[in-house]
Amino acid sequence: MEIKSHSPAKKQKFYQVLYIQVIFAITLGILLGHFYPTFAESLKPLGDAFIGIVKMIIAPVIFLTVVTGISGMKNMGSVGRVTGKAMLYFVTFSTLALFVGMIVANVIQPGHGLNIDPATLQGDKVAQYVDKAHDSTIVGFLMGIIPKTLISPLVGGDILQVLVVAVLFGIALASTNDKSQPIIDFLNLLTVPVFKLVGMLMKLAPIGAFGAMAFTVGKYGVGSIGNLALLIGTFYLTSVLFILIVLGAVARYNGFSIIRLIRYIKDELWLVLGTSSSEAALPNLMTKMEKAGCEKSVVGLVIPTGYSFNLDGTNIYMTMAALFIAQACNIDLTIGQQLTLLLVAMISSKGAAGVTGAGFITLAATLSVVPDVPVAGMALILGIDRFMSECRALTNFIGNACAAVVVARWDNALDKEQLDRTLKGLD
């Protein structure tokens, strides 16, 4: 089940290494977008096509990983136990991320001095996000988890629906003992060509990263950042500090280094940076976490669920962006109002989980509930949101990699010696 490009035993020339190719593609995309913006904009389908190709394989990867992992469990109570521990982790660190964003925005105040009159803002630009936000209720989200048929999630590709079907099917296989063994053997064999296919598709990553980055710079231009650079810089710095200090502390407490973990998943991080989509690297992340010593069942439950519930980068962005809009419009929010904003953001972030463009949609959902900050103020950051999405995706991705290791350790489902060897590059 290993992807060929991940094998350290086979020496590769530097230009054959995936992340080197992606770095080169990103650099080329930035240059093309800057000097030939019109042509660069037309390359958007390259990035979209690559993400579409990867999404095509995500459902089978999750289904096979979860089903084969759970069907091999001897104690079915461990499924609920792992899920409970994962949700505890997600809620804790998602809430911490919201607090961190709020604290930093208050200290640095990136919106201070812009003196924007809310009446002059063009609310029509964000109307589509507000409409989507209204549809993203907690009840609607929970109802949306229930698939229409047993096989529809495998066709539709909704991550949480795939997870629900896979968990139920895995439990059913495990509870029918030897009668299901031929099916379990077949599914285990099927994982080999499926993960081989993942390795084949990843070779297209440089093309996807090139097209996505060229489009971004070509359409928005580096100059479009302008005086909003402080918000972007503050957000990037906050995310880095959150990873190194908060996630670094929990990693250290659980016996591993966050720096070594980041180095271990660097190929996938470059891919996420180039495409602004953490989903693009989901199949590879699941493979690597399993290779690092986390049990397959834990990886299959934690990572897909984390893609909807463990959005550290998105949560930092939400409180920081909301306070930036308030500061730019000279709206002084009391501590009570800010805590209300944080509470609403905590709830709405779960309602918009799994929705495309969740960061911006969740922000719209939060501001529409809290009347103190004008929803139309989102127009201020609409132009730079694309430049912030990369950081959101990277932070979310690292957070989920860390979560897989921590939850596996909590559940005694981690081969610590294997993890140490892998993170040190010995395997």
pLDDT digits (tens, 9 = 90+) for 26-80: 889 888 888 888 898 888 888 888 878 877 887 888 788 778 877 766 666 777 7
Place of tokens 């958007």: 44
Identify the band that residue 173 occupies on the pLDDT scale cut at 50, 70 and 90.
Answer: confident
Task: Indicate whether 5 belongs to any domain.
Answer: no
- Computed from CA positions of residues 119, 320, 98, 272, in that sequence, does the dihedral angle turn out positive or negative? positive
101-119 residue pLDDT tens: 889 888 888 877 767 666 6
> CA 304, 310, 311 angle in degrees (round to 5)?
115
**Predicted model pTM:** 0.75
185-241 residue pLDDT tens: 898 888 888 888 878 887 888 888 888 888 877 876 765 555 567 788 888 999 999
What is the domain extent for residue 94? Answer: 12-423
Please state at what angle helix 335-351 crosses helix 358-369, rounded to 10 degrees: 130
Task: Indicate whether 6 belongs to any domain.
Answer: no
Task: Indicate whether 1 belongs to any domain.
Answer: no
> Which of 108, 345, 60 shows the shortest CA–CA distance to 229?
108
> Which of 186, 174, 196, 254 shows the shortest CA–CA distance to 6?
196
CATH number at residue 237: 1.10.3860.10
Residues in Cβ contact with 51 at an 8 Å cutoff, skipping those fewer than 6 apart? 208, 212, 275, 277, 279, 280
Q: What percent of the chain has pLDDT over 70?
A: 79
Task: Indicate whether 4 belongs to any domain.
Answer: no
3-state secondary structure of 414: strand
| For residue 321, pLDDT beyond 90 | no
Number of structural domains in the chain: 1
Task: Indicate whether 366 belongs to any domain.
Answer: yes
Mean pLDDT of 78-88: 83
